[in-house]
Amino acid sequence: MNIKAFSAILCVFLGCCSNVVFLEYLVKEDPGSGNLVTFSQFLFIAVEGLVHTIMTRNLTPKIPLKNYSLLVLMFFVTSVANNFAFDFNIPMPLHMIFRAGSLIANMVMGILILNKKYVLSKYLSVLMITAGIVLCTIISGSDVQKTTVATSTENMNIAYSDFFIWVLGIGLLSIALFISAYMGICQETLYKRFGKHPEEALFYTHLIPLPGFVFIYKNIKEHFNIALSSQSITLPMLSIIGLKIEIPQMIFYLICNVITQYLCISSVYVLTTECASLTVTLVVTLRKFVSLLFSILYFKNSFTIYHWIGTGLVFFGTIIFTEVLPRITEHMQIRKHKQE
């Protein structure tokens, strides 16, 4: 493994895991800040991509802009829906477990649209993932229901409305999951037709949707004001060298979230160009598991034995689906044979 690949793996863990941490900080302070986070990420990546495009003078896209239209729309909807789901009583661990179920949506879309057929092990692994997500969802739903009922004995309508809001959040995540899977199929079709241009796709899928945020600008403005009025903190890095600059705590979290999101996405891109798909799959899967563990332990999120069972089913189902273990064994045998 070369230095570039090793650095990419480190940056994936550093960028993606820390991104989830800062997102959870934001959500705990203000559960409705999802649209603000999404807009900030889109704006930063679009501006960075614009500067890079102008500097390299690659002003003519390799893929015509009209072919990006459906891809851009789906990416915008899924990004907004995934972050907006926190406003519907969705806890961070369940959010991560649910999004790890993308393989289910990919398989369903593959069967319905591409008429794909899979071996038995694939169906079994997806069944494991589905069972894990369903178990975690049911337990989390029970926790929400118990909490709302316990705190709303004088007004049962509030209890039921809180649970209904949670159900809407699950529905939102489910819709985003399947749209994201179909988006993957569209992206694969574009790449087959025009060649792979992931950096260009990253730029245009973040630049073109920016006007769409006009429709939710009131929500973005409201939560930006909430972030501005949050408690001030001294910037930790500057305080080391004797500079005392204070900014609102949530603004600091937001800046860190946006920067780490860019680090995460760009590192995954480098990883896909430097490493085999086996390495990429393994790194991304382990990263998700590490993020989940950190969220449970550091933020002390509610996580029962049933959640652990569900998480185990999702994690091992993913390992089976991606055939990581057989491919690692095969890779080791090939290396052993070459050494001999």
Quick check: is 11 in a domain?
yes
Q: Which two tokens stand for residue 237?
A: 């890095």
Last residue of a domain, one of 275, 290, 324: 275
Phi first, then psi: give them for residue 130, nearest 5 degrees: -60, -45
Do residue 76 and residue 181 come from a single domain? yes
Do residue 55 and residue 15 come from a single domain? yes
Do residue 140 and residue 43 come from a single domain? no
H or E stretch including 232? strand 232-234
Do residue 72 and residue 142 come from a single domain? yes
Do residue 144 and residue 129 come from a single domain? yes
Cα–Cα distance for residue pair 50/42, rounded to 1 Å: 12
Do residue 114 and residue 260 come from a single domain? no
* 81: CB partners within 8 A, 6+ apart: 172, 173, 175, 176, 179
Cα–Cα distance for residue pair 221/200, rounded to 1 Å: 29
Whole-model pTM above 0.75? yes
Do residue 87 and residue 235 come from a single domain? no
Quick check: is 151 in a domain?
yes
Domain count for the chain: 2
Quick check: is 281 in a domain?
no
Structural domain that includes position 16? 1-62+197-275
Per residue of the chain (340 residues), what is the pLDDT tens digit?
Answer: 578 888 888 999 999 999 999 999 999 999 999 999 999 999 999 999 999 888 887 778 888 988 999 999 999 999 999 999 998 988 888 898 888 777 788 888 888 888 888 888 888 988 998 898 888 888 887 776 555 544 444 455 555 577 888 889 999 999 999 998 898 888 888 888 988 787 888 899 999 999 999 999 999 999 999 999 999 998 877 666 777 888 999 999 999 999 999 999 888 878 877 776 667 767 887 888 888 888 888 888 878 898 899 889 988 888 888 776 676 677 677 766 766 6
Cα–Cα distance for residue pair 16/263, rounded to 1 Å: 8
- 50 and 288 Cβ atoms separated by less than 8 Å: no
Do residue 77 and residue 158 come from a single domain? yes
- 3 and 197 Cβ atoms separated by less than 8 Å: no
Q: How far are the Cα atoms of 111, 125, 128 from residue 320, in angstroms, in the given order?
A: 19, 6, 10
Do residue 79 and residue 177 come from a single domain? yes
Cα–Cα distance for residue pair 18/171, rounded to 1 Å: 27
Do residue 246 and residue 104 come from a single domain? no
Q: What is the DSSP string of 13-77?
A: HHHHHHHHHHHHHHHHH-TTTHHHHHHHHHHHHHHHHHHHHHHHT--S-SS-GGGGHHHHHHHHH
Do residue 177 and residue 222 come from a single domain? no
Do residue 192 and residue 144 come from a single domain? yes
